[in-house]
């Protein structure tokens, strides 16, 4: 005699009375993983921004260097700027003076619009670009020759010299 048992096919592995969903532990693991990935992405983007700011500063200083060379060719010497932190004086020499003398400006930047007004030229971190060339020896502190000058940016950390960008360091 054979007995036939009434079996129902198993449709899921859920226990009776339990509803589908995620446990608190599973949700916490997912949130933690998302947090770690977000921290990695934000950290990498911060480094990209720092590199971009440094590249912009170097490009700006290359433009200043080229403008200084054009000035020296036109006038026979570099513009005098004894106060290195006064970038408006440098801009005046490279933007205003040539135009007042009937020449084209040696330095052209988007922010320079008025041919009679010099404004400060700031690096990506909001500090003046530094330029030093005195009228007599010592002409500069680092490049002390008649045709030498110091040109630098204080970098992101203006309190430390560790991230300065300078022509005497070969940064540009």
Q: What is the pLDDT of residues 18-57, one digit of tens each?
A: 677 889 999 999 999 999 999 888 877 878 889 999 999 9
pLDDT, position 1: 52
pLDDT of residue 7: 58
For residue 158, what pLDDT is reported? 87
Please identify which residue in the block is written with the tokens 């009375």.
Answer: 17
State pTM to two decimals.
0.75
What residues in the chain have per-residue pLDDT under 70?
1-18
Structure tokens at 109: 């930047």
Question: What pLDDT, on a 0 to 100 scale, did the predictor assign at position 66?
Answer: 97
Exposed, middle or buried, 26 (CB in 10 Å: 0-12/13-18/19+)?
A: exposed
**Model pLDDT, residue 77:** 93
């Amino acid at each position: 005699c054979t007995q036939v048992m009434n079996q129902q096919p198993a449709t899921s592995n859920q226990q009776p009375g339990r509803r589908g969903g995620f446990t608190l532990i599973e949700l916490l693991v997912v949130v933690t993983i998302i947090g770690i990935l977000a921290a990695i992405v934000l950290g990498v983007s911060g480094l990209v921004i720092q590199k971009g700011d440094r590249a912009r500063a170097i490009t700006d200083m290359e433009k200043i260097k080229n403008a200084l060379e054009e000035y020296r060719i036109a006038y026979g010497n570099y513009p005098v700027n004894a106060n290195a932190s006064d970038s408006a004086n440098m801009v005046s020499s490279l933007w205003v003076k040539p135009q007042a003398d009937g020449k084209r400006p040696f330095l052209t930047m988007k922010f320079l619009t008025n041919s009679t007004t010099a404004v400060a030229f700031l690096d990506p971190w909001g500090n003046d670009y530094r330029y030093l060339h005195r009228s007599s020896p010592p002409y500069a502190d680092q490049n002390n020759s008649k045709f030498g000058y110091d040109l630098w940016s204080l970098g992101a950390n203006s309190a430390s010299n560790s991230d300065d960008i300078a022509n005497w360091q070969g940064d540009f």
